[in-house]
Chains A and B, each alone.
Chain A
Amino acid sequence: MKNAVGVELPEFIEGYGVVKPFAGAFAGYGQVQKAAVRLESVQPGKTKLLRSIDEAIEKVNLRDGMTISFPSHLRNGDHVINQVMAVIAAKGIKDLHIAATHIFPIHELLVDYIKRGIVTGLSASYISPGAVAKAITKGYLKNPAVLRSHGGRPRAIESGELHIDVAFIGAPTADAYGNINGVQGKAACGTLSYGIADAQYADKVVAITDNLVPYPACPIEISQEYVDYVVTVDSIGDPHGIVSGTLSVTKDPVGLRIASLAAQFIDEAGYIKDGMSFQSGAGGTSLAVTAEVRKRMKEKNVIGSFAAGGVTGFIVDMMNEGLFRSVFDVQCFDLKAIASYRDNPRHQGMSGSLYGNPNTKGALVNNLDIMILGATEIDTEFNVNVITGSDGVIMGGSGGHNDTAAGSKLSVIVTNLIKGRLPIVKSKVTTVATPGETVDVLVTEHGIAINPRRSDLIVKLKDSSLPLVPIEKLKEMAERLTGIPEPIPFSDEIVAVVEYRDGSIIDVVKKPLDTGGCKPRN
Chain B
Amino acid sequence: MEKNTRSMYFVPGNEPKMLQDAPVFDPDAIVIDLARRVPATEKDSARILVKEALQFLDYSNVEVIVRINPLSSEYGLKDVETIAPVKPNALMIPKARVEDIQTLANMLSGIEQAQGLEEGTIKLIPMIDSILGLESVHSIINASSRVTAAFLNAEDLAADYGSKRTKEGDEILYARSKVSMACRAAGIEVIDTPYMDINDSEGLEMDTEKANLLGFTGKAAIDGRQVEAINIVFDASLRQAAFPQAHTHI
Interface residues of A (CB under 8 A from B): 251, 253-254, 256-257, 260, 418, 445-446, 477, 481
A446 and B225 within 8 A (CB): no
Q: Is the interface of B mostly helix, strand, loop or mixed?
A: helix
- B: contact size bracket: 10 to 19
Chain B residues within 8 Å of A257, by CB: 24-25, 224
Interface residues of B (CB under 8 A from A): 20-21, 24-25, 57-58, 199, 223-225, 228
Q: Bound complex: CA of A477 vs CA of B24, how far in Å?
A: 13
Chain A residues within 8 Å of B224, by CB: 253-254, 256-257
Q: Is the interface of A mostly helix, strand, loop or mixed?
A: helix
CB pairs A–B below 8 angstroms (18 shown)? A251-B199, A253-B223, A253-B224, A253-B225, A254-B21, A254-B24, A254-B224, A256-B224, A256-B225, A257-B24, A257-B25, A257-B224, A418-B20, A445-B21, A446-B24, A477-B58, A481-B20, A481-B57
Q: Bound complex: CA of A257 vs CA of B25, how far in Å?
A: 7
A253 and B25 within 8 A (CB): yes
Q: Bound complex: CA of A247 vs CA of B58, how far in Å?
A: 33
Chain B residues within 8 Å of A253, by CB: 21, 25, 223-225
Q: Closest residue to A256 on the B side, CB-wise? A: B225
Q: Closest residue to B20 on the A side, CB-wise? A: A481
Which residue among A257, A260, A418, A477 has the maximum number of chain B CB atoms within 10 Å of its CB? A257
Which residue among B24, B57, B58, B225 has the maximum number of chain A CB atoms within 10 Å of its CB? B24
Chain A residues within 8 Å of B228, by CB: 260
Nearest chain B CB to A481 CB, angstrom units: 6
Q: Closest residue to B23 on the A side, CB-wise? A: A446
The 9 A-B pairs with the shortest beta carbon distances in the complex, nearest first, are A253-B224, A445-B24, A253-B225, A254-B21, A257-B24, A253-B223, A256-B225, A257-B25, A446-B24
Nearest chain A CB to B12 CB, angstrom units: 14
Nearest chain B CB to A477 CB, angstrom units: 8
Chain B residues within 8 Å of A418, by CB: 20
Nearest chain B CB to A465 CB, angstrom units: 10
Nearest chain A CB to B117 CB, angstrom units: 26
Nearest chain B CB to A445 CB, angstrom units: 4
Chain A residues within 8 Å of B20, by CB: 418, 481
Chain A residues within 8 Å of B225, by CB: 253, 256
Chain A residues within 8 Å of B57, by CB: 481
Q: Bound complex: CA of A418 vs CA of B57, how far in Å?
A: 14
Chain A residues within 8 Å of B21, by CB: 253-254, 445
Q: Bound complex: CA of A447 vs CA of B133, how far in Å?
A: 42
Chain A residues within 8 Å of B25, by CB: 253, 257
Q: Bound complex: CA of A251 vs CA of B199, how far in Å?
A: 9
